[in-house]
Amino acid sequence: MRICIINGPNLNEIGTREPEIYGTLTFQSAMDSWANDYPDIQLELFQSNHEGAIIDHIQLRKQEVSAFIINAGAYSHTSIAISDALRSVDKPIIEVHLSNIFKREEFRHKSLIAPLAEACIVGMGMQGYKMAIKYLLEKI
Ligand code: DQA
């Protein structure tokens, strides 16, 4: 099984960016531990700060992977274009947010990706990605 994790803008700075909200673990170290925990799953991580690059990647990988885990960062709240790209994905999509977006500013309460996702995991930090992987492993 191959899972594509897509991270949107500013998520490349996780580990040092607002650690009181997002924690201090980097994606590289989290990826290493997930790869170790789930040796039979192929995990690919794509991060971009650019909306079009995220859309290109969804289009490029949607036939090849079994599922997507996506945290589109701030684009989750604004990008019709990314949600349109996800509309033509016929594989499970799990939306993850490190922070509990519902506990934060009102503009973060709405996600344009949530209606397309099979499940949304918020507020569990990096563990949210692991929960998503575990869920997909059992489901697919
Ligand atoms: C985030 C929440 C978004 O509102 C924010 O813009 C991010 C990170 C999260 O993982 O909690 O960049 O997606």
pLDDT at 13 over 90: yes
Least confident of 16-25, 42-51, 67-76, 77-86: 16-25
Domain with 88 in it: what CATH number? 3.40.50.9100
How many C-beta neighbours within 10 Å does residue 8 have?
24
User: What's the rounded Cα separation, in Å, for the pair 113 and 128?
Assistant: 16
> What is the model's pLDDT at position 9?
98
Q: What's the mean pLDDT when you consider all of the chain?
A: 96
Q: How far is the CA of 75 from the centre of ligand 1 (A)?
A: 9
Q: Is the pLDDT of residue 35 over 90?
A: yes
Which of 50, 57, 77, 97 is flagged as catalytic?
97
* Confidence check: pLDDT of 93 > 90: yes
Ligand 1: residues with CB < 6 A are 10, 71, 73-74, 76, 97-99, 101, 108
Q: Residue 102 is part of which domain span?
A: 2-139
CA-closest candidate to residue 130, choices 61, 67, 45, 38: 38
Burial of 132 (0-12, 13-18, 19+ CB in 10 A): buried
> Is the pLDDT score of 57 beyond 90?
yes
Q: pLDDT class for 140, splitting at 50, 70, 90?
A: confident
Distance of CA 70 to the CA centre of its chain: 2
CA–centroid distance, 98 to ligand 1, in Å, is: 7
Contact 1, 41 (CB under 8 A): yes
Kindly report, residue by residue over 105-127, the tens digit of the pLDDT: 999 999 999 999 999 999 999 99
In the chain the first and final C-alpha atoms are separated, in Å, by 8
Known catalytic residue at 97: yes
Ligand 1 atom closest to the CA of 21, numbered from 1: 11
pLDDT of residue 77: 98
Out of 18, 96, 101, 121, give the residue to mutate to test ligand 1, the one with the largest number of ligand atoms within 8 Å of its CB.
Answer: 101
How far is the C-alpha of 15 from the C-alpha of 29, rounded, in Å?
A: 10
